[in-house]
């Protein structure tokens, strides 16, 4: 009983230690989750800033394209004197078109990145809630386990006392059994002694009878 009580006490203490370690791990996980969520939010904010810059570049490209178109019209009006300026205007327009296409591609990638980041933030928020719930559940389990450990610590000495009492009772039973065996041996010895005494008494009685017969015979001879 005492051994089992000590084992139960040891298992309970070990369980509490495991719960403490698990609780610490989840707290660390909460910290990591918060950090990742903040970084994702920062990435999303930076993506918004980049998107604003892309919008500005797109507007500049549109204005540049419009200016190159006006320059080409003016160069056409100038005739042979505007040919060189017309070439420059066409090149500016070509660069503006390339810029517009590039900004559209970048804007598309930014939107995809924002969508992914937004999904990541939402998933991290959900995960954060689940982790928080896990922390709460573990705290409840920890409190319950602490109560169990307290009860085990309180009961353990009682188990030991009961075990000692049982050992004392067992020892007392052994002593009683030994006394009974000794009493039985004494009874056997007494019975043997009584048997021997009866035999001696019978022999003595026989001797008395013989003596009486001899006395009677002696008196008969005298008469």
From the list 97, 76, 95, the residue with the least C-alpha distance to 85 is 76
Mean predicted confidence (pLDDT) in 31-52:
78
> What domains lie within the chain, and their CATH numbers?
2-222 (1.10.287.950)
In which band, very low, low, confident or very high, does the pLDDT at 190 lie, cut at 50, 70 and 90?
low
Least confident of 34-38, 107-111, 122-126, 201-205: 201-205
Mean predicted confidence (pLDDT) in 108-120:
79
Confidence (pLDDT) at 1 = 47
Helix (H, G, I), strand (E, B) or coil at 79: helix
Confidence (pLDDT) at 3 = 62
Across the chain, where does the E strand assignment appear? Answer: none
Confidence (pLDDT) at 122 = 79
Mean of all residue pLDDT scores within the chain: 73
Distances (CA, A) of 116 to 37, 41, 109, 131, 150: 13, 12, 10, 22, 50
Mean predicted confidence (pLDDT) in 155-174:
67
Mean predicted confidence (pLDDT) in 75-104:
75
Residue 191: pLDDT over 60: yes
Helix axis angle, 2-78 relative to 83-222, nearest 10°?
170
Least confident of 35-39, 213-217, 218-222: 218-222
pLDDT tens-digit readout, 3-34: 665 666 676 677 777 777 777 777 777 777 77
What is the value of pTM for the model shown? 0.42
């Amino acid at each position: 009983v005492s051994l089992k009580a000590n084992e139960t006490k040891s298992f309970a203490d070990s369980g509490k230690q495991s719960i403490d370690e698990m609780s610490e791990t989840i707290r660390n996980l909460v910290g990591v989750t918060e950090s990742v969520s903040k970084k994702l939010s920062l990435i999303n904010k930076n993506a918004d800033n980049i998107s604003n810059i892309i919008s500005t570049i797109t507007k500049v490209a549109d204005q540049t394209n419009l200016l190159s178109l006006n320059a080409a019209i003016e160069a056409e009006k100038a005739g042979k004197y505007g040919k060189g300026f017309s070439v420059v205007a066409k090149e500016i327009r070509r660069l503006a078109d390339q810029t517009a296409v590039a900004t559209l591609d970048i804007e598309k990638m930014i939107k995809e990145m924002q969508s992914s980041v937004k999904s990541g933030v939402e998933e991290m928020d959900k995960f954060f809630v689940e982790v928080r719930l896990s922390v709460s559940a573990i705290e409840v389990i920890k409190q319950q386990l602490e109560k169990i450990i307290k009860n085990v610590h309180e009961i353990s000495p009682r188990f030991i006392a009961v075990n000692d009492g049982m050992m004392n009772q067992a020892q007392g039973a052994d002593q009683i059994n030994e006394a009974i065996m000794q009493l039985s041996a004494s009874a056997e010895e007494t019975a043997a002694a009584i048997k021997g005494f009866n035999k001696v008494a019978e022999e003595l009685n026989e001797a008395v009878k013989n003596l009486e017969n001899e006395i009677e015979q002696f008196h008969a001879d005298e008469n």
